[in-house]
Amino acid sequence: MTFHFIKKNLLSTCVLLIAFFSTAFWKGFGGEVFSQTRMLDAKFIAENYYKGVVKILLYDSAAAKKDSNLAYIGRGSGFIVSEDGIIFTNRHVIDMCVYGYAHYDKYDEQTNTTNSYRAEYSEDFLRDSDIVKINFVSYAAPIIQVYYGKGENDYKLYYAKVLSVSMGSFDGAMLKIVADLNGNPVKYPFLALPIANSDSTFQGEDLCVYGFPEQYKGDFNVMLKNTSTLTFGKHSGFDFVYNKDFGYIKTEASINRGNSGGPVFNADEKIIGIATAAFTETNTGLVGGINGMYYVVASNIELLQKLSAKGLKVPKNAGSINTVNGDHKPIFSQTQIDALNKKKQSDFDARMEKKQKEIQAMTMKNYLSNTRPRQFSLDVEAGGSSYARGTLDNFWQTINNDPSMKAKGKGNPFIWSAELNFEGVDKKEKNFWGFGIQLIKTSNNAIAASNEYSGVTNAVSLNLMLINWSFIYCHAVGKKIILVFEPSVIYVNSMKGSITAYGSTYKEKESGGIGFGGGWQLSAGANYMLTKSFGISFRGGYRFVTLQEQHDESRDGTGITLTNSFFVNGTDGNTTMVKWSGAYCTAGIILTGGGGKRKPSRKKS
Domain 363-593 in CATH 2.40.160.20? The answer is yes
- Phi–psi pair at 276, nearest 5 degrees: -120, -45
Exposure b/e, 238-265, CB count within 10 A at least 16 = b: ebeeebebbbbbbbbbbbbebbbbbbbb
Q: Give start-end residues of each CATH 2.40.160.20 domain in the chain.
A: 363-593
Q: Give start-end residues of each CATH 2.40.10.120 domain in the chain.
A: 42-325
| CB-based contact 225:155 (threshold 8 Å) | no
pLDDT in tens, 43-78: 999 999 999 999 999 999 999 888 888 999 999 999
**Rounded to an integer, what distance in angstroms lies between the CA atom of residue 288 and that of residue 408?**
105
pLDDT in tens, 320-331: 678 899 999 999
**Rounded to an integer, what distance in angstroms lies between the CA atom of residue 529 and that of residue 417?**
19
Quote the pTM value: 0.59
Residue 375 has a pLDDT of 67
Domain 42-325 in CATH 2.40.10.120? The answer is yes
**Rounded to an integer, what distance in angstroms lies between the CA atom of residue 497 and that of residue 502?**
17
Residue 367 has a pLDDT of 58
Residue 364 has a pLDDT of 73
Residue 275 has a pLDDT of 95
* DSSP output for 195-227: B--GGG--TT-EEEEEE----S---HHHHHT--
CB atoms within 10 A of CB 285: 27
* DSSP output for 293-343: HHHHHTT-HHHHHHHHHTT----SS-----EEESSPPP---HHHHHHHHHH
Bridge partner list, 13: none
| CB-based contact 438:465 (threshold 8 Å) | no
Residue 221 has a pLDDT of 87
For the chain, residues with pLDDT lower than 70 are 1-37, 245, 318-320, 366-375, 389-391, 426-429, 510-517, 554-577, 594-605
Whole-angstrom distance between the N-terminal and C-terminal Cα of the chain? Answer: 88
